[in-house]
Amino acid sequence: MCLRAGLACLVLSSCWVISAGAQDATVRGFITDASDGQPLQGVNVAVIDQTGILRGDVTDDDGFFIVVRLAPGQYTLRASFIGYVTVTDTLVLEPDDTHRVRFSMEPGIEMGEEILIEADREGGATAAAGLQTVRPRDIDMVPTTDVSGDLVSYLATMPGVVSIGDRGGQVFIRGGEPSHNLSLLDGMYLYQPFHILGFYSAFSSDILRNADIYAGAFSSKFSGRMSSVIDVHTRNGNSQEMRRTISLAPFVSMGLLEGPIKKGTMSFLLSARASTIERVATRYIGQPLPYTFGDFFGKLHTIISDSHQFSVSAIRTYDRGTLEQNVANPEQIRWNNTAYGLRYLIAPPTLPILGEVLFSVSELLMELGPVGEPVRSTAIDGFNLAVNVTNFGRRTQVDWGFFLRAPRLDAELGGLYQNLAFTSDRILSTGAYFEPEVGLTEQIDLRAGVVVQFLGDQGVHAEPRLRMMYDRGSHEFSIAGGIYRQEAVGLNDRRDATNIFTAWAGSPTGNLPRAIHALVGYQFAPRPWLRVSAESFYKRLSSLFVSEWTAFPRFTTNLQEASGRVLGMDLRIEVQKPRLYAFVNYGLSSVEYRAMQETLPVWFGTDEVRYRPPHDRRHQLNALASIALGKFDVSFRWNVGSGLPYSQIRGFDGFVLMDGPTDVRHEPGQARVIYDQPYRGVLPTYHRLDISVERQFQYRDDSFITLQAGLINAYDQANVFALDIFTARRNDQLPLVPTAGIKFEF
């Protein structure tokens, strides 16, 4: 009650509340799937008066729609969605009336013309201005080692996304480091959401409702990261009947239980995955795969009334493994994510607004070295409170809110970074954002906003954001940009591809990492089944922190400040027909870092070094096709990527540490590598073909068995994962891997 009253008072006291005009009426409500109670996103809702004039909206992630500023009178409400029976109702609206509805749509096929309502809310099915919305059906078309899909498999098909390979849990989006990505699950922060085996993340398609992937130029609602946002929303449990899902596969197995606590209004969902790769897949692949990982997820959702909903989510992930296969004493890396969160959704009965309150607590613990005696460790934990409100007008929408974050950062690095003193720090970040969207014309929408945040010793910072869409029917143009800052930094030593340990620390005072984003996009749909798109992007990076260039790579180093820039273009052709879905995309990208340090003139005769960081993949091509052949679904994915940079060597010498009286005639010292200029070498081109075949059987009215078989790296290409410059030995990605799986749904 206190939370509800507090949010209502906040809305009423705000000078930015956009209320309906005097005597005008409003229709708003929620639409769900009658079979399982899930919110339906993308439903076309039309409100038609007696003269045939049509107004409408499209439901959002929560199945919410609203139509404001309607004259009192009689209307016909019609809700239509492909694959569902159309719903029609008669409304009589009184002056100053807010008519609330909640109804469910039955799955089925109904002949007739669908009424389409144009809506420009972010999160639509199309990709525009750096945003792409992904749903489980998109993920499940990508061949993988499991009968269920995973979001990271789809991310790997996006042209601006670079992964270091089949292992490592690292994703780079349009030139940014993994620590520059903001990863959210139901509003909860996940600091390391990807598992140690590159096919898996914390985002299984079995629990997903959708995911919004902002590759850049994201809106004012998001702050605290400088590269990208992965905003994942999970589905609610089935509120109509108890359902169970079990899947078995050589790499990972899963169990899921969901059902109603109170039918129609309260539901739960529990999911658990555990790797079987060490015990099963290792035996037939023919090489050791020392990886253990898994995750547990739970959610409770309840509908309090037509205006209020509440949910609680929790997740825990764990990872353990050794990335280096061909060294004498490989180091084990481990990490755990834990997060708990709640979400309160409110649509006040008399105001044209939708608000949410998010509160979560998140923790990451990462260690490198023997269990119980790690060589390095890092931890980050803290809470996040956010209030997000949307005010709806006829041609105007205003998003605004405030937030409070307080992560605590800790690291023990065993001398890895010699010039930093790591302490346990808590960073207090508080601020607010305001972002109105205005329909300038029937074809042009402008969204301009600003985030203002206070960061303690770092002072107050303002980050403007801009997004504009120009829709000409089959042609759509978009531009977007903004300034982005990051209060916490993830410190990595990228000189070794297998070094994925990330230490979290606060940004040095006065040196907040900052990025300036700009992008321009164009989409063209010459046919209903064909879409062509192009997007160019630019990022200017400053106050980055990278490893200093040194001849002693494996033991200690210093950190240095650097700047950078990212340039690129993504091209995509997409075909969608009843029995065929396919796309081809190509990404061209150039990332350059620029660093200065005192020792550079000694090594290279210059005080500045410009180099390609090791995640700079210049060219990347992805082709995916999913075809329905009779009762079988066949999917192909082919990926080609130009070689990643690596550092070559000039030679070796001996090193004797003079920490006391030393007889250099008898002290052998240690071998030391002497690097050439950073990242001047290029690894071979990467390419791989994955294939999967699925068949679903129905053995009762509501029970199904899905069989899956496939090949990962179908033509057994030997792709390099990492090159050990000390021994010239290479670690390769996974070889040809046959896969098979079975899923029971009942």
Q: What is the pLDDT of residue 674?
A: 75
Q: Which comes out higher in pLDDT, residue 508 or 184?
A: 184
Look at strands 608-611 and 580-596 and give their pairing: antiparallel
Q: How far apart are CA 151 and CA 142, in angstroms?
A: 10
Mean pLDDT for the stretch of residues 676-685: 86
Lowest mean per-residue pLDDT among 138-147, 318-327, 524-533, 596-605: 596-605
pLDDT higher than threshold 50 for residue 99 = yes
Half-sphere exposure in the Cβ direction for 723 (13 Å, CA)? 18
Q: Is 29 helix (H, G, I), strand (E, B) or coil?
A: strand
Q: Which comes out higher in pLDDT, residue 247 or 561?
A: 247
- Read off the pLDDT band of 702 (50, 70, 90): confident
Q: What is the pLDDT of residue 516?
A: 97
Q: What is the pLDDT of residue 442?
A: 86
What residues does 521 pair with on adjacent strands? 478, 535
Mean pLDDT for the stretch of residues 428-453: 94
Look at strands 703-712 and 686-700 and give their pairing: antiparallel
Q: What is the pLDDT of residue 207?
A: 96
Mean pLDDT for the stretch of residues 275-286: 82
- Read off the pLDDT band of 123 (50, 70, 90): very low
Lowest mean per-residue pLDDT among 389-403, 525-539, 714-728: 714-728
- Cβ density class 191-225: b for 16+ within 10 Å, e for less: bbbbbbbbbbbbbbbbbbbbbbbbbbbbbbbbbbb
Question: If phi over 0 gives left and psi between -120 and 50 gives alpha, with beta otherwise, what is residue 112?
Answer: left
Name the average pLDDT for the chain.
86
Q: What is the pLDDT of residue 187?
A: 96
Question: If phi over 0 gives left and psi between -120 and 50 gives alpha, with beta otherwise, what is residue 146?
Answer: beta
Question: Quick one: what percent of the chain has pLDDT higher than 90?
Answer: 59
pLDDT higher than threshold 90 for residue 327 = no
Mean pLDDT for the stretch of residues 218-234: 95
Using CA atoms, how far residue 726 sits from 274, 492, 500, in Å, is 36, 20, 19
Amino acid code (one letter) for 142: V
- Read off the pLDDT band of 5 (50, 70, 90): very low
Q: What is the pLDDT of residue 122?
A: 37
- Read off the pLDDT band of 127 (50, 70, 90): low
Question: Nearest 5°: phi and psi at 646?
Answer: -145, 165
Q: What is the pLDDT of residue 727?
A: 65
Q: What is the pLDDT of residue 125?
A: 39
Q: Can you say how many angstroms the Cα of residue 278 is from the centroid of all Cα atoms in its chain? A: 28
Lowest mean per-residue pLDDT among 62-71, 481-490, 545-554, 589-598: 545-554
| Residue of 477, 462, 475 lying closest to 520 (CA atoms) | 477
Mean pLDDT for the stretch of residues 666-681: 76
Long-range contacts of 406-409 (CB under 8 A, 24+ apart): 406/382, 407/380, 407/381, 407/382, 407/488, 408/379, 408/380, 408/381, 408/382, 409/378, 409/379, 409/380, 409/488, 409/504, 409/505, 409/506
Cβ–Cβ contacts within 10 Å for residue 131, how many? 24
Question: What is this structure's pTM?
Answer: 0.91
Q: Please give the helix or strand (H or E) that residue 153 lies within, else none.
A: helix 151-155
Q: What is the pLDDT of residue 19?
A: 43
Q: Which comes out higher in pLDDT, residue 502 or 190?
A: 190
Q: How far apart are CA 528 and CA 532, in angstroms?
A: 11
